[in-house]
Amino acid sequence: MPSVAAFYEFVLKGRKRLGYRVQMDTTTTNVAETDAELPGALLELQNHGVPLKHASLVLLRVENNGFTYIDTHDYVALDDDRVGVRFFFPNRTVVGTVITELSNDSLRANFRDLRTSFRHETDKHPAGGVIELPRVPMNRSAHYKVLAALERVPGITGEPGPPILEGDIKDGRIAETQSRIGTPKRIIALVSFLSVLVVAQLVVFLRSNSGAPLDCTTGHLTVYGSTAFKPIVEEAADAYGDLCPGASFDFAMEGSGEGVSTLDDRGRAGTAGEVLAFSDGRKADGMPALIGRPISFFLFALVANPDAGVRDLSLAQIKDIYAGKVTNWNQVGGADRPIRLITRHRGSGTRAAFKARVLGDVTEAPPTVDVCPRGADAKAFICEVGDTEKVLDTVASTAGALGYSEAGAASGEKGVITVRIDDQPPTVKEADAHLYPFWETEYAYTIGEPAARSLGASFLRFLTTQVGSDILRSRGLRPCPELANPARCQPA
């Protein structure tokens, strides 16, 4: 019966769940000055200079309490509507909002478009304020909190009503979750036991019907290749190590071209051992012993120092900049400041993707300095750096700088902004619609076919079909097995 219950709960009723809790709804006179969670957020809301006479504070928690990942297209909304969930506050108007807690910092980029509105009274509902939350992609157990300052609508008597949720999830539901205080321990123990039993039954069911069963291999694996893909591989390796304590990893990831060449050299010398190399795009010719597997659809982004004054560039403008025809941001509608290009060394997979997908047949202007100058005094220049982290750090600390990196790393980096290309953001949706051009297929290379029970083979299965695939999705990517054409792993 537990397996039947699990089937009903997660298949018939839908596995996608979005929950919300009203963790606080009180007047400002009831908020203790020593409240440790909210002082910074309260100050931010109060600094707007709005005179609040009958103010109240509401703290909302929105969470993915379902069984699977929620993507932007899972929200019931029109394609051009960026709003996924709305909270309506009868008889109150919203005067300030702030995000107070994120379960993962990668969620932060979704809240650049946090909006509020007001609805006038009609025959069907009273007047009130609305908080419009974006369509936030969320892993299982991910959550965020919204703190709102509200003011009672003039002329209203009595206590305002509670927040009303407006929104829905495809093949799932949005429901209010309540904390229950004082539940008997025996009830908790019984529910916990039944929950464990249901989950165990479900895991057995999934494992028996999965083409990629959970496996655990011991040993030591050395990983070479893409610096853009390195943070993802490191996170996946940590997760694998938690499941398989007998497995260990070394990372010597200094670039796609260098990593694949090192792997090929080790194969020719007969000193391979357990090794992998990840590459942004296909290997170069002349390495017949290396076998590649498409792992992920990988997005890249242009990044600029904010004082450049641009947030969108056309393909033609980008080509002119990298060809050396445009050297000041005011030539493309930005600030009167020289353009400083921070590029990657030759052999970089990110640079190869930029050349192939964005520049095309345009010849890049050569570097003009050996070391990237810092500060605002330097004139226009072009310099090269060795990895993704150095690109982002140099762009953030150099006035007028422009570079490119892995899109997920760029979205979470302070001091840089992501530049749209032809008004299109770096998302899977836009790339899959052939609107955003800067992407590549991430490949994993091995020396010949690895043994089925080797650590390398096990880790690649883990990365593409198990917990590693959740890590890829959390960074805005897609595992190749989930795409329409997994063998080619490119937009439809």
Give yes or no for residue 8 having a pLDDT over 90. no
Q: Which residues on adjacent β-strands are paired with residue 21?
A: 61
- pLDDT band of 378, cuts 50, 70, 90: low
Pairing verdict, β 55-63 and 143-152: antiparallel
pLDDT of 185 reads: 56
pLDDT of 62 reads: 92
pLDDT of 332 reads: 95
Give yes or no for residue 451 having a pLDDT over 50. yes
Q: Residue 27: how many CB atoms within 10 A of its CB?
A: 14
Burial 172-187 (b: 16+ CB within 10 A, else e): bebeeeeeeeeeeeee
pLDDT of 171 reads: 80
pLDDT in tens, 70-126: 888 888 888 778 888 999 988 888 888 888 888 888 888 888 777 787 787 776 678
The pTM (predicted TM-score) of the whole model is 0.53
Mean pLDDT across the stretch 141-154?
A: 87
3-state secondary structure of 414: coil
Mean pLDDT across the stretch 222-241?
A: 92
> Between these two residues, 209 and 387, which has the higher pLDDT value?
387
Mean pLDDT across the stretch 420-444?
A: 89
pLDDT of 423 reads: 94
CA distance 76 to 174: 11
pLDDT of 189 reads: 62
| Closest of 470, 486, 479 to residue 138, by C-alpha | 470
| Closest of 455, 476, 209, 421 to residue 303, by C-alpha | 421
Give yes or no for residue 179 having a pLDDT over 90. no
| Closest of 273, 295, 167 to residue 220, by C-alpha | 273
**DSSP state for residue 141 in the 8-state scheme:** T
Mean pLDDT across the stretch 237-253?
A: 92
pLDDT of 455 reads: 94
Q: Of 206-220, 225-239, 287-301, where does mean pLDDT reach its minimum?
A: 206-220
